[in-house]
Amino acid sequence: MTQQTAVTRRAALIGGGVIGGGWLARFLLNGWDVNVFDPDPEAERKLAEVLANARRSLPSLYDVAMPAPGQIRFCPTVAEAVADAEWIQESVPERLELKHRVMTQIQAAMPPGALIGSSTSGFKPSELGAGVPRPESVLVVHPFNPVYLLPVVEVVPHASVSEESITHALETLRSIGMMPLRLRREIDAHVADRFLEAVWREALWLVKDDIATTQEIDDVIRFGFGIRWAQMGLFETYRIAGGEAGMAHFLAQFGPCLKWPWTKLMDVPDLDDALVKKISDQSDAQSGMRSIRELERIRDDNLVSMMRALKGRNWASGRTLREHDERLRRDVSPPDWSQPVLTVSRTVPIDWTDYNGHMNEAKYLDLFSSAADRFMELIGCDAAYIAAGSSYFTAESHLQHIAEVHAGERVQVVTQLLAGNGKKLHLFHQLFAQDSAAAAGRLLATGEQFLIHVSLETRRSSVPSAAVQERLRDIESKHAALPRPGRLHCGQRD
């Protein structure tokens, strides 16, 4: 079932370009209502296309159902957009006089206590605050494209912003699944873009001097150090390069290289018409056969797969995903034990599909295993119970495929307790397509599991704790009134 947030929160987005569209998806799909102002007559169409890509990719990052999406309202003026918003994200073009003018309009109409986050990639908060009446409400909140997938966001407050407001800003960003990085001091282009600018300058020279094409440079990054940086960053990578002696050895060995003329970072090529054409032609040859929307979908699929892989290791951005899972899981309502219990509610991620384009067979078992784990938690066989030395082991499973399941589908599993007497636990799971927020839809598969309670010390069957047995008796008495599933395979074991 779709989870409902207790209180609907509202954000205002001023500017609906590439970054503004990403912010729209990030807020909206985390349950916020969003007001949008953008003078572009094509804004609604463009934002709808970005949002469609986000709807199919962002939920795939999580193993818990996301909140019901918020509502979008397109507003004719800045004042109307910000009048009832607690968070205002400014993403207008990088012209300081324009940002000053827009922020002055925002501050004239926004509620007391609201904060303005600027998506600026280059201006310092002191430069933004110098041109507005109330600089204490202005922060740099610089994300990375696509905003709805990448979690890191640079937060740089103006000197007059209170610690209370900064804390509120950081908590707000975490609440929508982001990983805010508060900079210690302001600096032109913040942190990340200074790295990117250095790499960009060197890349321009490599193309200009016919050392490499745009595709070859991209290949060096995406097949080499780029994926390494994605999970470990710069310094930790170099520390490992130093071997057992660590960072000190690395610096001693490679530090002198900094004086060698390897790069042209202090010398920028003239971006004249010839170089612009050269880069454009090579980029067209590399990627021109695909539309921007198709390239975004390819990018999104790859990012989802990589970040879910990191999530499996609880590493880097994957840890942020797990934390957001737990945040979302805390909002799940208590079960209604008079009915089969909702044990799984989620979106099928891209990396669960196989060469036939539908969900891999192993993932059906994965879903039903997750359902059994959730059922165990609900009866008291949780992490603490297992840590104390007891658990349930699966002795037998039966799976029936009924319909195909594809990436992006919302699914849910409901679980019925058939027997829970003594050492035995007999569960029947049904996997449904979640066609609406109100009810389960098409039946996609069923799974039957027979589990035995085991002592983890002896690895032999054992009797559950008295509390678990009592809980199972209560649930079994309620589920006995439900229709018994047909074609059971483990019934003789009850």
| The listed CATH number (3.40.50.150, 3.90.1150.10, 1.10.1040.10, 3.40.50.12640) that belongs to domain 192-289 | 1.10.1040.10
Work out the end-to-end distance of the chain between its first and last CA atoms, rounded to an integer number of angstroms.
Answer: 31
**Local confidence pLDDT in tens for the 494 residues of the chain:** 344 445 789 999 999 999 999 999 999 999 999 999 999 999 999 999 999 999 999 999 998 999 999 999 999 999 999 999 999 999 999 999 999 999 999 999 999 999 999 999 999 999 999 989 999 999 999 999 999 999 999 999 999 999 999 999 999 999 999 999 999 999 999 999 998 999 999 999 999 999 999 999 999 998 888 888 888 888 888 787 777 777 777 777 777 776 677 777 767 778 788 987 888 888 888 888 888 888 898 889 888 888 888 888 898 888 899 999 888 888 778 899 999 999 999 999 888 988 898 999 999 999 999 999 999 999 999 999 999 999 999 999 999 999 999 988 999 999 999 999 899 999 999 999 986 544 558 999 999 999 999 999 999 999 999 999 999 999 999 999 999 998 788 755 44
Intrachain domains 10-182 and 192-289 with the same fold:
no
CATH, domain range 10-182: 3.40.50.720
CB count within 10 Å of CB 225 equals 12
Domain boundaries, the chain: 10-182, 192-289, 334-493
CA gap 120, 189 in Å, rounded:
8
The domain 334-493 having CATH identifier 3.40.50.300: the answer here is no
- The alpha-carbon radius of gyration of the chain (Å, integer) is 27
CB count within 10 Å of CB 283 equals 15
CA gap 144, 54 in Å, rounded:
14
CA gap 22, 28 in Å, rounded:
10
